[in-house]
Amino acid sequence: MSAPGDSPQIECYNGEIRLFAGSWAPRGWEICDGTQPEPYQIFLAPDLRGRVPIGQGQGPGLSPRNFGDTGGSETVSLTLPQMPNHTHDAFAGGSAAYFSNPNRYMWAAQNSAGIAGPYAWPNSSSTPTLFDPGFLATVGGSGGNTADAHENMMPTMALNYIQAQNGNFPERYDGDVVCKVFGSLDDAYVGEVRLACLPFTPDGWLPCDGRLLPMPASNDDPYVLLFTILGWNFGGSVNDKTFGIPNLGSMAVMGIGQGPGLSNRTLGQTAGDASVTLQTNELPPHSHSYTGYVPPDPGDLLPGPQHGVALAYSPGQRLFSNADPDGSMAPQSIGEMGGGEAHENRQPGLTLAYFICYKGVYPMRSSQEHESEAAAIEAALAAAGLKAG
């Protein structure tokens, strides 16, 4: 089926999805935004706005993915079960205790009166007792009961996924079909981006490496058609007399637009991080229980802190209160845990090569139905402030 007024199209399959570095869809193609097709269209375009396509099936050591599945999240707020199991060392000073108020001080050794404690070696005969939950301060989050969200996207760039609506109906592979890698340049649009397992750059294509190209001086310039598609969306400027092509090195590609529940993505926009270092406010708000011991024999009490001992007390000692806390002990009282290192933030991937076409068929917009290719190019150059010639 064809739409009225269609012009000859490049060779393609109905339902085929390609990458295009322009902000619009060529005639006979639809942007993959999940919208309902027109009566003459055959396939409903999938919604790839703000999403990265992945292969169906199950890769080694990975979860199975079925056709049409969606998943993932732009950001993640960790919950307590997702935190690594960890403890904190408690520190104490070795000098004698001289202060009755713990505010900004540390646990200390016996006081000047020579009273033993409050430390002992914990053992199976000791009676453990939990301190009040408010004994240790809560850390994590920036208010409320949840952690602040952290970045969960690998490095990505927004391009235009388009789906063919007026191509050939695909036949199933029967073992006799030989597929050419890129076909002829009559089968590619200028500005189209393709992925290939090639160690070289095919004729008529450029690697998507972010290079700057000279702005065209005439219609005979080899990059004039590409410039009318890309403009300065990928770098360069009028002052520098250059324009850029997409840099997809180490990048995944997501669709332009705003998918349901996702952020809006514009052409050429980049997002995401290869690794993420969590900040304190991105931890789930949490505290730790603190345990004291009643030793079986008051003689087991030690006068000062040592590595491996715990807070302890005998029934005759009065070291504790049920009043609300009115200050914090010194930060050194509880040890740090964790190294502050970044963690991997990229989804499973396989490195191949992206190429962009500059010698193919010039894509015409639906609004240019009665225009010639030359007129369309002239209009695009005029919009960029350049004269055709």
Give the per-residue pLDDT at 205: 93
Give the per-residue pLDDT at 338: 79
pLDDT surpassing 80 at residue 95: no
Q: How far is C-alpha 21 from the geometric centre of its chain's CA atoms?
A: 21
pLDDT surpassing 70 at residue 211: yes
Give the per-residue pLDDT at 82: 82
**Of 235, 226, 232, nearest in space to 206 by CA:** 226
Give the per-residue pLDDT at 317: 62
**Of 9, 43, 23, nearest in space to 228 by CA:** 23
CA distances from 297 to 126, 290, 302, 319, 364 (A): 9, 22, 11, 18, 91
Assigned domain for 52 exists: yes
Q: Are residues 175 and 251 in the same domain?
A: yes
CA distance from start to end of the chain: 38
Three-state DSSP state, 377 = helix
Residues 6+ away with beta carbon under 8 Å from 242: 212, 213, 214, 215, 235, 236
Q: Are residues 383 and 256 in the same domain?
A: yes
pLDDT surpassing 90 at residue 236: yes
pLDDT winner (highest mean) among 51-55, 118-122, 269-273, 302-306:
269-273
What average pLDDT does this structure show over 95-113? 65
Q: What percent of the chain has pLDDT over 90?
A: 22
- Which of 16-25, 163-172, 203-212 is predicted least confidently? 163-172
Give the per-residue pLDDT at 110: 61
What average pLDDT does this structure show over 290-314? 71
Cβ–Cβ under 8 Å, residues 162 and 17: yes
Task: Give phi and psi for 154, each to the nearest 5.
Answer: -75, 165
Give the per-residue pLDDT at 231: 92
**Of 84, 355, 97, 34, nearest in space to 211 by CA:** 355
User: How high is the mean pLDDT of the chain?
Assistant: 79
Q: Which residue has the higher pLDDT, 315 or 88?
A: 88
pLDDT surpassing 90 at residue 2: no
Cα separation, 382 vs 285, in Å, equals: 57
Residues 6+ away with beta carbon under 8 Å from 121: 300, 302, 308, 309, 310
Q: Are residues 228 and 207 in the same domain?
A: yes
Q: Are residues 107 and 167 in the same domain?
A: no
Burial class of residue 372, CB neighbours in 10 A (0-12, 13-18, 19+): exposed
Three-state DSSP state, 204 = coil
Q: Are residues 42 and 160 in the same domain?
A: yes
Q: Are residues 44 and 81 in the same domain?
A: no
Assigned domain for 246 exists: yes
Q: Which residue has the higher pLDDT, 343 or 230?
A: 230
Which residue segment(s) compose the domain that 139 sits in? 76-150+279-334
Give the per-residue pLDDT at 370: 58
Three-state DSSP state, 280 = helix
What average pLDDT does this structure show over 12-18? 82
Give the per-residue pLDDT at 111: 56
Give the per-residue pLDDT at 176: 46
Assigned domain for 67 exists: no
Q: Are residues 238 and 221 in the same domain?
A: yes
pLDDT, tens only, 169-185: 555 544 444 344 455 66
Assigned domain for 68 exists: no
Assigned domain for 198 exists: yes
Q: How many domains does the chain have?
A: 2
Q: Which residue has the higher pLDDT, 131 or 159?
A: 159
**Of 178, 228, 192, 218, nearest in space to 383 by CA:** 228
Q: Are residues 244 and 112 in the same domain?
A: no
Q: Are residues 294 and 348 in the same domain?
A: no
State the sign of the Cα–Cα–Cα–Cα dihedral 246, 164, 197, 227.
negative
Assigned domain for 237 exists: yes
**Of 261, 203, 213, nearest in space to 235 by CA:** 213
What average pLDDT does this structure show over 13-38? 84
Q: Are residues 251 and 360 in the same domain?
A: yes
Assigned domain for 61 exists: no
Q: Are residues 219 and 319 in the same domain?
A: no
Cβ–Cβ under 8 Å, residues 118 and 312: yes
What average pLDDT does this structure show over 106-116? 62
Cα separation, 133 vs 287, in Å, equals: 8
Cα separation, 166 vs 17, in Å, equals: 12
Angle at 323 between CA 320 and CA 328, to 5 degrees: 75
pLDDT, tens only, 48-60: 999 999 888 888 8
Q: Are residues 165 and 287 in the same domain?
A: no
pLDDT surpassing 70 at residue 208: yes
Confidence at 326, pLDDT banded by 50, 70, 90: low
Assigned domain for 64 exists: no
Confidence at 246, pLDDT banded by 50, 70, 90: very high
pLDDT surpassing 90 at residue 358: yes
Cα separation, 304 vs 108, in Å, equals: 7
Q: Which residue has the higher pLDDT, 242 or 380?
A: 242
Please identify, among 290, 315, 334, the residue that sits at the C-terminal boundary of a domain.
334
